[in-house]
Amino acid sequence: MSQIKIAALAGDGIGPEVMREALNVLRAIERKFSLDFIVTEAPVGWAGIDAAGRALPDATLELCRGSDAILFGSVGLPDRDPTVPTEQRPERAALLRLRKEFQLFANLRPVRLPKILAHACPLRPERQGDGLDLLVVRELTGGMYFGTPKMTEDLGNGQRRATDTMVYTTSEIERIARVAFAAAGNRRKKVTSIDKANVLENGVLWREVVTRVSKSYPEVTLEHMFVDNAAMQLLLKPTQFDVILCENMFGDILSDEAAALAGSLGMLPSASLGATTGQRTFGLYEPAGGTAPDIAGKNLANPIAQILSVSMMLTYSFGRVDAGDAIQNAVRVVIEQGLRTGDIYSTADVGARRVGTREMGATIVAALG
């Protein structure tokens, strides 16, 4: 494979600490699989404001435009300068802008809980089976969050009326459904499509289109589930799910519910995918969590979410499932060896050893061989 250009935007808080470990892993993968990465680091978030006066400096955006994928840390520090207005603060001015700029329509959030970390999960062990392994595929650019009209009106009688519009086109549903079925094809071959077809027109169209798309993936089983039932089933029997396919708002809610099952945000990567050109899919890869200001700069952060974001980038943007799997395997080995950052450590965890960000990262690099 020819050169792969990666923009590495560490951001704020724990971002630079966990990014450093992720880039060490990326370099180890480069050697192991004889790949050729050009990694360019650039400021974003408050680091962007400090360096160039904007949360997404022009040079950083240009770098992203010229890259094959973005490896993103986290942005935002709630206690920094309250005079900076919301629309210029990092969460909106950097992250939302990047999602929009690159039309990142598919958000993938894998949730894995190895049996050995059963204590980190809020569910009773008998509900966890042999461990949890599911993937939430969320549509990210349509639905109620973006539909118009979107407004609040004064009705003149002491009442105000707020309107949000839920809107989806056939093609928007088709393209996210294809992402879900393709992902399921590489997993346990089951898609559970979430809707509210008993009440919403959107749900009826969603169900129709997803069913039609499923015909092109005969090896994948499709089932439909109402969103209220899905919220309940995630807690009652999460092992029944493989890929969960959702529109934007349902996915926002269910992906956080599913994330809670893994016990710590520090374990959860995510991918936001855009267009595919040839064999490459542009994507932004980031931990599910934020900048964790409470533990930043103390060598306490769990780097696994950022490291697994590298694994997703290799798999989904560059089709290197072998390299992505190697990282997942190295993480599994290190967890089985008993290494734990504080967020996944428990005194009840026999044989576990509490380590810092650096040691966790270095041991994962070593496990890659």
Selected from 24, 214, 291, 311, the binder of ligand NAD by CB under 6 A is 291
Q: Three-state SS for 185?
A: helix
Please list, in sequence order, all residues whose beta carbon lies within 8 angstroms of the beta carbon of residue 286, skipping any fewer than 6 positions away.
71, 72, 73, 74, 269, 270, 272, 306, 309
Handedness of CA 347, 349, 352, 357 (dihedral sign): negative
Query: For ligand NAD, which stretch binds (CB under 6 A), given 25-33, 63-71, 97-105, 294-302?
Result: 294-302
According to CB under 6 A, which one of 60, 74, 214, 317 is a site residue for ligand NAD? 74
CB 134 within 8 A of CB 242: yes
128 binds ligand NAD (CB under 6 A): no
Q: How far is the CB of 267 from ligand NAD (least distance, A)?
A: 8
Interface with ligand NAD, residue 48, by CB under 6 A: no
Select 6 or 166, whichever has its Cβ closest to ligand NAD. 6
| CA–CA gap between residue 303 and residue 228 (Å, rounded) | 33
Could you give phi then psi for residue 359, rounded to 5 degrees? -65, -40
- Residues that are catalytic: 145, 196, 228, 252, 256
76 binds ligand NAD (CB under 6 A): yes
Binding-residue total with ligand NAD (CB under 6 A): 24
Residue from 289, 310, 315, 334 that binds ligand NAD (CB under 6 A)? Answer: 289
10 near ligand NAD (CB under 6 A): no
Binders of ligand NAD in range 298-337 (CB under 6 A): 301-302, 305
* String marking each residue 246-285 x if it binds ligand NAD according to CB under 6 A: -------------------xx-------------------
Other CB atoms within 10 A of residue 170 CB: 12
Nearer to ligand NAD, 247 or 286 (CB): 286
Rounded distance, CA 14 to CA 187, Å? Answer: 31
Q: Which amino acid is at 151?
A: M
To the nearest 10 degrees (0 to 180), the angle between helices 201-214 and 170-185 is 50
- CA neighbor of 194 nearest in space, from 230, 222, 166, 165: 230
Binding site residues, ligand NAD, CB under 6 A: 14, 18, 74-78, 91, 95, 265-266, 286-287, 289-295, 301-302, 305, 343
